[in-house]
Amino acid sequence: MTAGGTVAVAVVGVFAELLRRQNATLSEVRDQVSNTHDTNLRDDLDAVMFRIDRVIDNQGRHGEALERHSDDITALRVEIAHERRERLSVEDRLDDHIASFIP
């Protein structure tokens, strides 16, 4: 065997090893991307992103509803405080009226 033949065999051997390693790497990537899914990974990601966008939109509406509820509760507190003041005022006047009849 000549030196050129030896070099050619070595180059073919190195090339075959590089192809084997690349094939192993590609198989590993394919397993991580496709696994056993029946659908395309990109389609799955698009569906997840759509759902996340819907959740974010709903959170905004939820925040608006909470703000309206807070405003309603504040208004109720103001009305209750007003009703309490009026009730106490009537109670004081009634006590004074009753006291005027007691000798």
Alpha-carbon torsion (25, 31, 34, 38), positive or negative: positive
pLDDT of residue 28: 63
The pLDDT tens digits for 37-82 are 677 778 888 899 999 999 988 888 888 999 999 999 999 999 999 9
Domain ranges in the chain are 1-36, 39-103
In the predicted structure, residue 83 carries a pLDDT above the cut 70: yes
In the predicted structure, residue 17 carries a pLDDT above the cut 90: no
Alpha-carbon torsion (35, 38, 42, 48), positive or negative: negative
3-state helix, strand, coil in the chain (%, to 5): 90, 0, 10
pLDDT of residue 42: 80
Euclidean distance between CA atoms 14 and 75, whole angstroms: 82
Euclidean distance between CA atoms 96 and 103, whole angstroms: 13
CA atoms within 13 A on the CB side of 57: 6
The pLDDT tens digits for 33-47 are 656 667 777 888 889
